[in-house]
Structure 1
Amino acid sequence: MRKKTAKKCVTFIIWSAYLLADWAASFAVGLIFDTEEKYASAQDKGDDAKGAEADTGLLLVLWVPFLLLMVGGQDRITSFAVQDNELWHRHLIWLILQLCTTGFVFIQSVHQNRLWIPTLLLLLAGTIKYAERIVALYLASSDSFGTSVLKDPNPGPNYEKLMREYEHYKDSGVPVQFVIFEDRESRVIKYDRFKLSDSELVQYAHRFANIYKGLIVNLMFSSREHKESREFFSKRTAEDALRILETELNIFYDLLHTKSFDLKLTYILFFGVLGLDVVTHLLWMFSDWSTVSSPSKYAKYFPLAKIQSIIYHVLLHKRRPRWKISNGAPQKNQWRVACTAKIFKKLKPKSNESEKKTTEATQKIKWQEASTPIMFKRWSETLSQFNFLSYCYKESSSESIYRIMMTNMLKSMHIKDFIEQKKNDFFLKRSVVSPPLPEKLWEFIFDELLEKSISAHDDEEAKRISSARGDWILENGVFFDDDDSKLSLLMPYVKDVAYDESLLLWHIATELCTTNLPDNTGYEELMFRQFSQWLSNYMMYLLYQQPNLMSEVSGIAKQRFRDTLAEVQRFFRQGSGLKDLVNDPKKGYQIICGVDTHLKPALVKGNLSKSALFDATRLAKELNLLGERKWKVMSKVWVELLSYAASRSRGNGHVQQLSKGGELLTFVWLLMAQFGLRESWVETRIRTRLVVSK
């Protein structure tokens, strides 16, 4: 369940059960050990009154292997987090101690235990079960996993022999030279643009997962693998690509958190404890891993294989991403109502004509949103959103005499900073909402990355594109038929600032640009506007809520966040800014946009503050000069900002997120790798041949 939902309550329950499992088993074994000793002692003394209790004590001995069997864990969760895999030594020691305790209890009671045969068999099964878990943890640890994904050692051609032959021919006066030729292994398989069946999608996902699992430990890939992957994905639709990436990430999850052994070994272990693992076996029979064995190939020979094949194809069809039609405006309004409800509690913002026009115009677009039933999901299928300005207002409106008194009291107790930090983290999390992923947004991201992949004619161009964070699209995108010079005014906001500052600037500017929506807004402009807002809010969520994914590019994001928050709060508390924002958020944004910003804030305020509020206001004014094309420009810039974060993030952060419902950024990370849009990851393979001329 945890890889299909991002709900904290589900994760907390699983986490609690995972931590309590070992402790509960050890505690129970200790109680049984103590109880059995008492009963054995009573029987040895010939106390007939306690004979029935002694039999009960012997029955308790049978429970000990059951506890060991249960502590072996469900095959679907051997580790809770990636870091747990590194603790396989601890589990090995625990198994040895537990076996010693269990063995002592068993040996002490074997002479009078009429159930010693089933007890011994259960002890053997429990040992196998827990040993499976330890092996799974070891194989998923960083050292073992990193070694397992390495290719077989390749010493290359015999250098000493070749040089000996070279010198021999050279001394004999025979023209000789080494020539470079194409490696046979680098020849790329050509794919056609055809529709893949459900089974074929899983087969290809398994193939590419085996190739790209090295991403988890940041390995380099060959040029052949890079070209084949790009050739394959460039011929797929956005939905097929999403389904393949979903399956690949599920395979990554299974490698790190479940007992996904080699298929033959798995079946041997399963049949060894068949009576205890029937349910688990059925789950594996109809899992993505079983697709590799292609049960459909044997359907005409074996009736059971035919039944399995039918059930399997039905389940695969059920696991397709489902999409339901939803209006863009209600989804957006629900998100805003959810935020304002948390902020104002019973206070509801009043709507006005501008808001009505926006709603009516946005309702022209019918959005398809993810709605796969949770039993068939491969990940959470959500797009978390965090709006900075809404959060700022919540903080501004929460000031009261009571809060000021509490702040002063905490300050005198020297714990104000600690309480404030916890309070900020709490309200940040409460301000995040997670609506379903829109299908059109995924198609837009896929098409943008595909276009960049096609533009990457060589490795150097691929590196330049992957390192761009808005500047590539501003330099190479065609938005105006007459003059693209207006775009050059936007370049300082992506090239001359740190990445985390650029995110905050473009996020605030995106929200400020929503203040005025013309009555004759077209379908395309509305669509790009919605893409911009979705990506803008999502990137802010990643920056401040997912530090593991954004640590490589976060910079001094927290300090910049605090400084900007303080400036927005001060602005809202002064004059009529706060009152107008209560009645209509759009008016609050218009007041910010109305501030004279012809001088750079750094020239007026200095550079002690890291606030980005009025730099973002300047950016919003520059964007408004682009007219109706501004949303198209902004949406494409946001895709580059998203892809830049994906290309800079490390595989370890992404695989940690797989057990928490998954993130859209992880799909972008994997898709960019398979499109070849990464820095320093392609290894060009060449061979040489000694050619003797006549």
Structure 2
Amino acid sequence: MDDDTGLLLVLWAPFLLLLVGGQDRITSFAVQDNELWLRHLIWLIFQLSTTGFVFIQTIHQNRLWIPTLLLLLAGTIKYAERTVALYLASSESFGISVLKEPNPGPNYEKLMRAYSTFKEMGLPTNFECLEDEEGRESQVSKLITSEVKEQLDNCGLVQYAYGMSNMYKGLIVNLMFSSSEHKKSRDFFSRIDAEDALRILEIELNFFYDLLHTKVAVATSKVGIISQCTSIGLVVAALSLFYKEEKRGFQRFDVGVTYTLFFGVLGLNIVTLLLWVFSDWAIASLTKSQKNSLLSKIFNKFLNLKKPRWKESAGVSKLSHWKTTIRFRRWSETLSQFNFIKYCWKHRSKGVNAESRNIISITSILKYFHIKDFIDHKKNDIFQMIFVSPQPLTKNLWEFIFKELEEKSRDAEDPEAAKRLISARGEWVLENVDFPNGFKSSILMSYVNDVAYDESLLLWHIATELCYNTDPLRDRHSDCKSCDYCNAREISHCLSDYMIYLLYQQPSLMSEVSGIAKQRFRDTWAEAQRFFSQQQHELESLEEPYQCILEVDTILKPVQVKGNLSKSVLFDANMLAKEIQKLDSEKWKVTSKVWVELLSYAASRSRGNAHVQQLSRGGEILTFVWLLMAQFGLRESWVETRFGTKLIVGK
């Protein structure tokens, strides 16, 4: 009986390969995992060697050797699929896959020989430039340049997103695009509304996610389809042979475990097959002839379940926000918020609140386990995370961002114009806004042009918070939740808290523009702590700190009084807030536009691999802005104008 039990143990060994081979919908949890494909290949060889050694040692007395061999082959196929998927998603392989076929161009030697011959014959000869001579127009280009209906159906949105993702997946590796490609996508996005644009962008990003974190590159290929069918067939064959095998000598529990493993593996494969059948990839493969077919109608009904809708918030603001059933959600659909003044006030030296006490207790326990240095280094980051809160993406916010970028795209007719527009950090807005009462834009311009980007973010964030919480016109608009003034005010506040969250909590996304953000944050935090602790009366409500800061006399710039040893910008932001308040009813219109420009500047400066790293963590609205800017043609140095030539011979 022991020998027969050992036979089942040998049969169970290949199941490890089948299970570790992973589901087709999950191969990696981070883009860094894809770089470890070689390690997985070595592990596969090692596992095959050990399993094969055990199998050979028992084959002479193993009456289950045929199903064991079949399972071993199936497991090898599944794990090999995962290894290949990891390799194809690695940075080097993926970068090569998005490149076009090698193109040596026209035969230079032949053309020059003809040119010289015609010249010797005394004929006027010259080469004429031809604009973007891409005669072989792809299906993607045809799809994008076709006429867009007023309202796209669900399948149509997926197919357009698929076309766009094929065109722009080179963004992940910072590939250069032609101006004609940008023009096609810009024309397309200018003809759809903000909601359809958001749906297309989220589907595109899901296509990017699948390419990097699933077996889609393998599963959709002919070899991949054959290998999947083969592995399932081998498991079914092994199950059939085991079912017919005499069970005498096996313990009932062991037989039950074996059947559980078989049906578990087959069940996972069936679930995976259903996921592929109803995936965006299957919908994108529909042809025009299938547009009104029963299959297309089924897909449209299914996509209705995944369709997000604008739903009214239950809070005071009553703003519509992006809402999808959690089972079908494509991304987090939120913007994380971090408020600097609120953080400083709640951690002022006078008193410790409940959140602080909880963190102190946790850090004290962790220090007991001899990781004091780590805790001391990370304590501020841990405290900051306590004050990060998610806020749903509102309809007003997305439509405003979309409108601002669309307006900029109209002026980006050439790469130089696009470069100038996306290099703006607020100055483009300040130059093109009509200020009331003869207000000089140069006053605000110094807070975007004459400071580093990270300093500008912190300045405008604190100034926005000061204006938001001490707004003298707030009471006048207290009953209005949809006027332009209130919309701009809420947009400014939301983007302000979001950008500060990115700067201090998402360093990978903001690494290109962060500068000395950490040091500036610490110095400003220290000055705020000192200021609050020196107040003669206890600050009870959250509105009091903002008013106290604004009451400080700032007739002289802080650098004239303190020097520049400290990087604190607390009272520089105070001066900026007082200038913004002079704009009266126009202040939130200007501030909201400046924040969109600061957002788009960060998106244009961040690299593609930093954005795709966020896809497995829920995604960020910054990534949507990055992708939307690319498709509006708002990119700096990655656009080239392609042209061909033609030999012209005159008489």
Q: Structure 1 length as normaliser, TM-score?
A: 0.82
Match in the other structure for 2:493: 533
Counterpart code for 2:610: G
Alignment of 1:548-627 (within 5 A): 548-576=508-536, 579-580=538-539, 583-627=540-584
Instruction: Give the unaligned 5+ runs of structure 1.
Output: 1-51, 331-362
Q: Conserved in 2, the CA contact under 8 Å of 1:66 and 1:122?
A: yes
Name the structure 1 match of 2:275: 283
1:252 and 2:208 aligned: yes
Q: Name the counterpart of 1:369.
A: 321
Aligned residues of 1:473 and 1:637 also touching (Cα < 8 A): yes
Q: How does 1:19-98 map to 2 (within 5 A)?
A: 52-98=1-47
Q: Which range is displaced more, 94-103 or 436-445? A: 436-445
Deviation, 1:193, is 5.6
SS in 1 for 2:35: helix
1:453 alignment counterpart: 409
1:326 to 313, 338, 343: 313
The alignment status of 1:664 with 2:616, answered yes or no, reads no
Amino acid in the other structure paired with 1:380 = S
Residue 103 to residue 664, structure 1, CA distance change in 2 (3 Å): same
2:317 matched to 1:317?
no
Equivalence for 2:252 = none
- 1:443-479 Cα deviation digits (max 9, x unpaired): 1100110011012232211111111110111012335
Q: Match for residue 168 of structure 1?
A: 117
Q: Is the 8 A contact 1:190 1:231 kept in 2?
A: no
Listed as ranges, the matches of 1:104-253 within 5 Å are 104-185=53-134, 189=145, 191-192=147-148, 194-253=150-209
Mapped pair 1:424 → 2:393: no
CA distance in 2: counterparts of 1:270 and 1:313, whole angstroms: 27
Report the residue type matching 2:460 in the other structure.
W
Cα distance between partner residues in 2 of 1:623 and 1:299: 54
Instruction: Report the residue type matching 2:113 in the other structure.
Output: R
Distance 1:398 1:586 in 2: 17
Name the aligned partner's letter for residue 612 of structure 2: V
Distance 2:298 2:118 in 1: 66
Report SS of the residue matched to 2:319.
strand
AA in 1 matched with 2:162:
H
* AA at the equivalent of 2:568: S
Distance 1:623 1:381 in 2: 31
State how far apart, in whole Å, the 2-side matches of 1:89 and 1:421 are: 35
| Cα distance change of structure 1 residues 319 and 478 upon mapping to structure 2, 3 Å threshold | farther
Instruction: State the Cα distance separating 1:596 from its structure 2 match.
Output: 0.5
1:504 aligns with 2:458: yes
Q: CA deviation at 1:177?
A: 1.0
What's the offset of the Cα at 1:268?
Answer: 2.1
Equivalence for 2:399: 443
Cα deviation digits, residues 104-161 of structure 1 (max 9, x gap): 1111111111111111111111000000000001001111000110111110111111
Question: Partners of 2:424 and 2:319 in 1: how far apart?
Answer: 29
TM superposition shift of 1:263: 4.1
SS, match of residue 616 in structure 2: helix
The answer to whether the 8 Å contact 2:133/2:644 transfers is no
In the alignment, the residues of structure 2 paired with residue 137 and residue 529 of structure 1 have an alpha-carbon distance, to the nearest angstrom, of 46
Q: Which residue matches 1:464?
A: 420
2:467 to 497, 513, 534: 513
Q: Distance in 2 between matches of 1:313 and 1:113?
A: 52
Q: Does the aligned pair in 1 maintain the 2:22–2:79 contact within 8 Å?
A: yes
1:317-346 CA-partner distances (Å, limit 9, x unpaired): 11111221126x63xxxxxxxxxxxxxxxx
Distance change in 2, residues 1:598/1:191 (3 Å): farther
Residue 386 of structure 1: how far off its partner (Å): 0.3
SS for the counterpart of 2:313 is strand
Change (3 A) 1:164 1:587: same
Q: Deviations over 1:556-600 (max 9, x none)?
A: 0000000000000000001236x22xx222122111101010101
2:578 is aligned with what amino acid? K
Q: Is the 8 A contact 2:130 2:644 kept in 1?
A: yes
Amino acid at match of 2:472: L
State the SS of the aligned residue for 1:316.
helix
Contact 2:415 2:640 survives alignment (8 Å): no
Instruction: Point out where structure 2 has 5 or more consecutive residues left out of the alignment.
Output: 237-265
Q: In structure 2, what residue type is equivalent to 1:264? A: K
Equivalent pairs counted in the alignment come to 594
* AA partner of residue 520 (structure 2): R
> Separation in 2 of the partners of 1:475 and 1:218?
31
In the TM superposition, 1:670-689 aligns within 5 A as 670-689=627-646
Who is 1:493 aligned against? Answer: 447
Separation of aligned partners in 2, 1:142 and 1:234: 32
Q: Could you list the per-position Cα deviations for residues 263-317 of structure 1 after superposition, in whole angstroms to 9, with x for gaps in the alignment? A: 43343233223353221111001000112321784599xxxx83x4443222211
C-alpha RMSD of the superposition: 2.4
User: Alpha carbons of 1:311 and 1:455: their partners in 2 closer, same or farther (altered >3 Å)?
Assistant: same
Seen in structure 2, the aligned counterparts of structure 1 residues 268 and 296 have a Cα distance that, compared at 3 Å, is: farther
In 1, Cα distance between equivalents of 2:323 and 2:646: 57
- Please tell me the residue identity of whatever aligns with 1:561: F
- After superposition, the Cα gap between the structure-2 partners of 1:415 and 1:265, relative to the gap in structure 1 and judged at 3 Å, is closer
Contact 1:246–1:379 (8 Å) recurs in 2: yes
Are residue 692 (structure 1) and residue 649 (structure 2) matched? yes
Q: 1:130 is matched by which residue type in structure 2?
A: Y
Is the contact between residue 191 and residue 235 of structure 1 (CA under 8 Å) also seen in structure 2? no
User: Could you tell me how far 1:420 is from its partner in structure 2?
Assistant: 3.0
Aligned to 1:395: 347
Q: Give distance in 2, aligned partners of 1:377 and 1:104.
A: 46
1:426 maps to a residue whose letter is I
Contact 2:173–2:609, Cα closer than 8 Å, also in 1 = yes
Separation of aligned partners in 1, 2:472 and 2:376: 38
| Alpha carbons 1:208, 1:248 under 8 Å: kept | yes
Three-state SS of the structure 1 residue aligned to 2:564 is coil
State the 1:421 CA deviation.
Answer: 2.5
In 1, the alpha carbon distance for the partners of 2:56 and 2:82 equals 26
Partner of 2:284: 292
- What is the distance in 1 between the residues matched to 2:291 and 2:454? 55
Supply the AA of the counterpart residue of 1:555.
Answer: G
C-alpha distance in structure 2 between counterparts of 1:184 and 1:163, whole Å: 20
- 8 Å CA contact 2:88–2:94 kept in 1: the answer is yes
Contact persistence 1:646–1:669 (CA under 8 A):
yes
Q: Using the alignment, how far apart are the partners of 2:425 and 2:452 within structure 1?
A: 10
Distance 1:611 1:107, change over 3 A: same
8 A Cα contact 1:136 1:259, kept in partner = yes
Structure 1 residue 416: deviation in Å? 7.2
Report the AA paired with residue 500 of structure 1: D
2:227 partner amino acid: L
CA contact (8 A) 1:506 1:616 kept: yes
Q: Deviations over 1:632-672 (max 9, x none)?
A: 10000000000000000001111110000000000000000
Secondary structure of residue in 2 paired with 1:369: strand
Contact kept in structure 1, 2:459 and 2:573, CA below 8 Å? yes
In structure 2, distance between residues paired with 1:398 and 1:134: 57
